[in-house]
Amino acid sequence: MLDIKVIRENVKEVKQAMLNRNLDISFDQLLNWDGERKTIISRIEQLRLKRNKESGEIGKLKRKSKKLPAELLAEINKVRDIIQEQEKQLLTIEKHIKDFLLRIPNIPDKSVPIGKDEKDNKIIRFVGKPEKLSFKHKHHWEIGEKLGIIDFAAASKISGPHFAVLKNEGCVLERAIISFFLDIHKEKGYKEITTPYLVNRTSMTGTGQLPNLEEDSFKCAIGDLYLIPTAEVPVTNIHRDDVLEESALPQKYVSYSACFRRESGSYGKDTKGLIRNHQFDKVELVKFVKPETSSEELESLVLDAGNVLELLGLSYRVVLLSTGDIGFSSSKTYDLEVWLAGCGMYREISSCSNFKDFQARRMNIKVKYSQNKKRELLHTLNGSGVAVGRTFAAILENYQQEDGSVVIPNLLRKYTGFDIIKP
């Protein structure tokens, strides 16, 4: 969340940053609470000084074995009661402040283009040339069903819409993609980690999924647990309340997980296929870095995510999201959009974001510098490295053959044990 000091000292600039996100937020009530909070803290401090002074007088009388004046005892009890009442008021106001701050999104970085929505995103670069098919193309869901490796009807019968069942070589191909991604990222220095798929409310709040995105989350009926929307949530929370040594940074993690998301705001979009499902697989990259290096670390994160696509021979483009399209917790986000030859368009396959100290403040994650022993909030970053289902779809569409078969990319063949899936 944002530092209230930043809001207090730069309220006009913060308000404009929210307007750039298409949010008209009044900070008047927050600043009123902040003023009340300061007043109450000052009052409590004065009362404590008075109580300590009177307690000292009682101590002197006791040492002299003198009778304690009833008026003095009554005054101390009165001061104690007032302090307790003021502390209750302080807790209430601090809760109001925290609840308010938890619902305010991050301030976009100055390099983020100002815009209303995805139409104002900026294409940074293209990598590779889009595959042009010399025959009538098919979409991945058509290819998968004809090859007998995807069964949407069975998934709908089992669970409902926006789910998929993989079969036969499809299961092998999915495992191959996951193993390939993990191996490549570990070669880049990322440490592999496997975490629970169920997390508590504190963990979801720490990365910014709650309270604002609760409607997109799957919550257990019993217990305050949520299915993870991405491995970013449990992996980032590993260092909650930790102080990391400067020499230990950057910390880089790679994690495969199933992910669960309602996609409540996306009905009517991508109703077919693997692009937008409630359950999907993803390999996630998470970084903990020093504040002064986070901009560079974001650029290298984008390169790491894109590298696996290049190795698979998949063309993609890098897009810088506008202020109207970046996520709640993000300060700056690049999307990687892979080319789907069957659909004839680019589709998002990874989002790489720099959250700066936004998540770290929620989770109290700090770095300790070796030279001056100073402690401050570090910066967190994450990106898909990359979405498994969408890679699966991209392989089917870009490697489809005229006879309906699909050729397996060279670097995946040692994982699959076969080089083609035939009808």
Claim to verify: residue 98 and residue 122 sit in the same structural domain: no
Is there a binding annotation on residue 297? no
**Distance in angstroms between the alpha carbons of the first and the last residue of the chain:** 52
Claim to verify: residue 405 and residue 380 sit in the same structural domain: yes
Buried b / exposed e along 170-198 (16+ C-beta atoms within 10 A): bebbbebbbbbbbebbeeeebeebebebe
- Name the residue range of residue 60's domain: 4-102
Is there a binding annotation on residue 333? no
Q: What is the pTM of this model?
A: 0.93
Specify the number of domains making up the chain. 2
Claim to verify: residue 96 and residue 133 sit in the same structural domain: no
Claim to verify: residue 88 and residue 184 sit in the same structural domain: no
Claim to verify: residue 166 and residue 62 sit in the same structural domain: no
DSSP letters of 4-52?
Answer: HHHHHH-HHHHHHHHHHTT-----HHHHHHHHHHHHHHHHHHHHHHHHH
Claim to verify: residue 72 and residue 200 sit in the same structural domain: no
Could you read off the pLDDT of 125-157 as tens digits, one per residue? 999 999 788 899 999 999 999 999 999 999 999
Is there a binding annotation on residue 164? no
The residue among 71, 102, 133 that closes a domain is: 102
Report the distance separating Cα 408 and Cα 396, nearest Å: 9
Q: How confident is the model at residue 68 (pLDDT cuts 50, 70, 90)?
A: low
Claim to verify: residue 396 and residue 339 sit in the same structural domain: yes
Is there a binding annotation on residue 257? no
Claim to verify: residue 320 and residue 369 sit in the same structural domain: yes
Is there a binding annotation on residue 384? yes
Could you read off the pLDDT of 28-47 as tens digits, one per residue? 999 999 999 999 999 999 99
Is there a binding annotation on residue 350? yes
Claim to verify: residue 167 and residue 311 sit in the same structural domain: yes
pLDDT at 131: 77
pLDDT at 302: 98
Is there a binding annotation on residue 232? yes
Q: How confident is the model at residue 77 (pLDDT cuts 50, 70, 90)?
A: confident
Q: How confident is the model at residue 67 (pLDDT cuts 50, 70, 90)?
A: low
Q: Is 268 a residue whose pLDDT tops 60?
A: no
Is there a binding annotation on residue 237? no
Residue 400 in domain: yes
Is there a binding annotation on residue 43? no
Q: Domain of 11: which CATH number?
A: 1.10.287.40
Is there a binding annotation on residue 348? yes
Residue 409 in domain: yes
Residue 111 in domain: no
Q: Domain of 313: which CATH number?
A: 3.30.930.10
Is there a binding annotation on residue 382? yes
The residue among 70, 102, 134 that closes a domain is: 102
Residue pair 378/291 in contact by the 8 Å Cβ criterion: yes
Residue 68 in domain: yes
Mean pLDDT of the chain: 94
Write phi, then psi, for 205 (nearest 5 degrees): -70, -35
Residue 110 in domain: no
